[in-house]
Chain A
C-alpha cells in the first residue's frame, strides 16, 4: 500500500497500537509504582534545582566555595542515582547501559572535584636540607623554596630545620576524624556576615587545637627536634615555627601573613604551637582570603616548618624588582633593628635602600627612618617582645652598605635560579652575616605608567605624602579600624583607615575599596602584598590619618600620587568601587568544568528513536532519559480499557485524563468493569493550571495539520468522532499525587509538559519538552524570540538539535502552578505557526496570581 494511504488507514483506525501487555500486572503493582514515580519526581526536582543553583553561580559570578561545588556535585549525583533506582523499580529492568554511562560520568565528576592526589611522600617529618622545590605538594610552597635554596646554594646561610609534612597533617586529621567534621561544619553553617565568619573560624580552630596529636606523629616530631639539637650542638634549641601551606606563596595567591608564624618556640610548647599553626588555616583572615580568592579549602594541607632561631641583629624584606612598576632595574631592601615582624606586621616604618642591579649592584638611594620599636626574642621567654628603641638607636641605619650589597647579590642569585622576581625575607645575625629565612615569587601590580595629572588638582588635598603600598585610585567613606570590634562593623565599600597595617585587617579587603595607614613600610608588609593582590589602592605611613580623616566622610585616595582628597557622594561619582571577580579562580574553573558533565542536555528527547551512548553525555541526559523511560512505562497503564476519563471541557479536541489519584483505582481489581467519569479541570491544581494556559489558545481541530490538507483534516475529524474512547490518546493528562504530566503528540511536534508542585519547594519543578521533527524545526529567529520570552519569565531554556527544554525548579507550589500555566500557554502557542509577540494578562508570571481561566 502506498505510504500516504497507509497513513490515512492508520489514522482512521487508530493505527497499529502496541499490545496492552503487562497492564494487569501494572495495576496490581500500582501502589509500588506510584510510590517509585513520586520518589523519582522528587529526585528530579532536586536535581534540576541544583543545576539551577550552579548555573546561577556561574552566570552571576557570585561567591562560590569549593564546599559549594562539592556539595552541589554530590547532591546532583545522588539525585540522579536515586532517579535510576526508582526507574528500575518502575520498569523492572536493570537499564545497564544507562547505569554504566551514569557511573562513568560520576567518576569523571569525582576526579574533577577530588582534592589533589595524596602526598607522594609518606614521611611525617623531613629535614629541611633534604627538601627541594619539587616537593611543594608534600612540604608546602614556602618550605619547598627554602629547602631548594639550602640544597642548591651551600654558600648561602639558611637556618637548619625540619618540615612537618602534609602526610602528618593528613594523619592528624584522619586520626581525629576531623576531615569530615570540618567539612560538615563548613557545609552546614550559614555565613551571613563577619560575625558568623568569626564564629565558624573560632569553632574550627578550637576543634583542631583541642584534638590530640597521634603518638606516631609526636614521636616523629620529637626525633626531628633531637636531630636539630644535635646540629645546633646544644639542648633546648628555640625554633621559629612557620606555616607552609600547599598552594601558599604562589605568585597569584601569596597568602602573605594569613597563617600564623610563631617565633622563639621551646620544645615544651612545640606540639601546641604546631596545632595552632594548623588551626590558623581557619583563622578569619585565611578563610576570608580563600573564599574571596576562590581557592579550594581541601587542596591546601597545612605543612609546618620548624627552623632554628637566628640570633638576629637586624632583619627585613627584599624585593628583587619593583612590585608596582614595570621597571626591572631596581632592588628594594627594607630593614629594621631586631626581627622582621616589625615590618610585616606594620609596627614601624623601616629603612629603605634602592639598589641598581646593573652592571653590579650599587646603592642608588637610601632613606633612614626613626625606628621607635623593635621585636626581639629572649631565651628566657617564649615568643617575641616588642621593645622601645633608645633614642640613639632610632636613627641608626639597620644595615651597613656592605650588608646591603651582600643581600642584593643574594637576591640576584636566587632570582636567577628561580627565574622570577622574588620577595625574600632575611636576617643579619649579630656577627653580621646574612641568612635567608624565606623566599617567594613576587606579585607585581603596575600603577599608571603615563604621567597623569593629579585628580582634583583644583581641590586642596586633605592629606599628602606617605608611601604607596598598592597602586590605584578609589573613592569611599572613611571607616577607622582599631579593634576587633571595628572589624565586625566594617561597611561594604569603605576606605579602611588604620593606625597600623596589621595583617589581620586583610579579612576586610574583600569589602574595602582602599587602605590608608598611619605607619608601615609602603610596598613591604603583608597587608600591602594582599592589597596588591586584591587590586586595592593603599597608602601607608600617612601621619595622623586616623585623626584628620573624619569617620564617614567621602574621600578619594590616589595611591600613585600619595594624595587624599575630599570626594563627592557616590551618586555623583562615575567610578564605582572595583569588584573582585571570581572568574578564572580554581573553584570557578572547577565548577565550570564539572558543569560540562552535569548540565546541558545533548538532545531534548534522548529516547527518540532509541537510547544510544552518544545521546547521553551529561547527568541531565541521564536524568531526562530516566524520566522519559519512567513516563513511557507508567503510560502503559493507559492501555487498560476504561481507565481514561475524558476531560470535561468545551474544546474542539478531546483531551484525556489518566487519574491515578482516583480512589476507584485503589481497590478495584476488576479492570474490565472500569469506567471513568469525566474529570473537571479543577480536579487537580496542576491540571487546572496547565489547562488555564492551554485553554487560552485557539486550538483548531488538528491544528498541527498542514494547511494544504483539508481532506485529511476532515477525515481526522471523522476519526475523532467515531472513536472517542479508544486508547491511548495523544492528548493525555496523567495525574499522580502532586504531579501532572501532559503528553501531546502532534504531527509537527511532540510535547511533554511535566510539573511537580508539592509542599517541598526544593522538589518542585516544571519542564516542557518540545521536540520538533525534520522540516518543522523552528527558525533561529523564532527560537531567539521564544528564548527571550521564556527567559523574561524566569525559565531556563536548553535548546538541542531536536528540540528544546524549558524548565524551572525549586519554586513554591503556587509559583510552580503558575509556571505550568505559562508553559501550557506557550505550548498552545508554539504549535501554531506564529510566535506570540507578548503574553496576555494573567499568564505573565510577573503579574498578580489569577485563579480562574
Chain B
C-alpha cells in the first residue's frame, strides 16, 4: 500500500511538483492549499505523514499543527519552512513535529525524513529498504 501523505502548502507550484515527484515514489499525495482545507482533509481520512508549511494565509501553521496533534496525536508531522520562520519551526518541534526542512528541500532529504518518520515505531530505518512504502 502506498504511503498516504497530506501536503498542506499554499504555494501551488511547489505542491504540484512535489506531488508529481512523490507520486513516482509510491507515495499518494493529497495536496491542499490552506490550513482549513488540511483540517477538513484529516477529518475525512487517515494519513501516514503530513508535510506542513508554516506560513499560510488563512490559519497559522503552528495553529494547524496544534489541531493536527489533537486530532491525530500519533501522526508524524514534518514542517516545511520558507522565509524567516525558523523560530516557528523550532516552536513546531517543541509541539511534537518530527523534524523540519527548509524550502526548497532536497528530495532525498525529504524522502529520508518521511521514511524515518513513518518507520519510527518499528525501530528506525537502519538496515532496511528506505524506500517509502517499502517499494
Question: Residues on A close to B: CB < 8 A?
Answer: 195, 198-199, 201-203, 205-206, 209-210, 260, 262, 268-269, 272, 276, 279, 284, 372-373, 380-388, 483-485, 488, 504
Interface string of B73-93 (1 = CB under 8 A from A): 000000001111011011001
Q: Tell me the B79-133 residues at the A interface (CB within 8 Å).
A: 81-84, 86-87, 89-90, 93, 99-104, 106-109, 112, 127-131
Residues on the B chain within 8 Å of A382, using CB: 20-21, 24-25, 107
B17 interface contact, C-beta 8 A: yes
Contact check, A386 vs B24: say whether CB atoms are below 8 A apart. no
* Interchain nearest-CB distance for A196 vs B (Å): 9
B44 interface contact, C-beta 8 A: no
Residues on the B chain within 8 Å of A206, using CB: 82-83, 103-104
- Shortest Cβ distance from A284 into B: residue: B102
A244 to B129 alpha-carbon distance, docked (Å): 32
Contact check, A209 vs B87: say whether CB atoms are below 8 A apart. no
Residues on the A chain within 8 Å of B104, using CB: 202, 205-206, 209, 276, 279
Residues on the A chain within 8 Å of B127, using CB: 372, 388
Residues on the A chain within 8 Å of B89, using CB: 485
- Shortest Cβ distance from A199 into B: residue: B84
Q: Which of B24, B109, B129 contacts A380 (CB 8 A)?
A: B24
| In the complex, number of A-B residue pairs with CB atoms less than 8 Å apart | 79
Most central of B24, B82, B83, B86 by chain A CB within 10 Å:
B86
A260 to B105 alpha-carbon distance, docked (Å): 11
Q: Which of B20, B87, B99, B131 contacts A483 (CB 8 A)?
A: B99
Contact check, A202 vs B103: say whether CB atoms are below 8 A apart. yes
Most central of B101, B112, B131 by chain A CB within 10 Å:
B131
* Interchain nearest-CB distance for B124 vs A (Å): 11
Q: Tell me the B4-27 residues at the A interface (CB within 8 Å).
A: 13, 17, 20-21, 24-25
Contact check, B102 vs A269: say whether CB atoms are below 8 A apart. no
Most central of A202, A206, A381 by chain B CB within 10 Å:
A202
Contact check, B128 vs A388: say whether CB atoms are below 8 A apart. yes
A488 to B89 alpha-carbon distance, docked (Å): 11
What bracket does the count of chain B residues touching chain A fall in? 20 to 34
- Shortest Cβ distance from A262 into B: residue: B107
Most central of B21, B24, B104 by chain A CB within 10 Å:
B104
Q: Tell me the B41-82 residues at the A interface (CB within 8 Å).
A: 81-82
Residues on the A chain within 8 Å of B90, using CB: 485, 488
A269 to B13 alpha-carbon distance, docked (Å): 12
A198 to B103 alpha-carbon distance, docked (Å): 10
- Shortest Cβ distance from B101 into A: residue: A484
Residues on the A chain within 8 Å of B129, using CB: 387-388
* Interchain nearest-CB distance for B104 vs A (Å): 5
Contact check, A384 vs B130: say whether CB atoms are below 8 A apart. no
Q: Which of B13, B93, B128 contacts A210 (CB 8 A)?
A: B13
Can you identify 14 A-B contacts, CB atoms within 8 angstroms?
A: A198-B86, A199-B84, A202-B81, A202-B104, A205-B104, A206-B104, A269-B21, A380-B24, A381-B24, A385-B130, A385-B131, A386-B131, A387-B131, A488-B90
* Interchain nearest-CB distance for A351 vs B (Å): 19
- Shortest Cβ distance from B22 into A: residue: A382
Contact check, B81 vs A485: say whether CB atoms are below 8 A apart. no
Contact check, B82 vs A202: say whether CB atoms are below 8 A apart. yes
- Shortest Cβ distance from A195 into B: residue: B86
* Interchain nearest-CB distance for A644 vs B (Å): 59
Residues on the A chain within 8 Å of B93, using CB: 485
Q: Which of A202, A262, A272, A387 contacts B83 (CB 8 A)?
A: A202
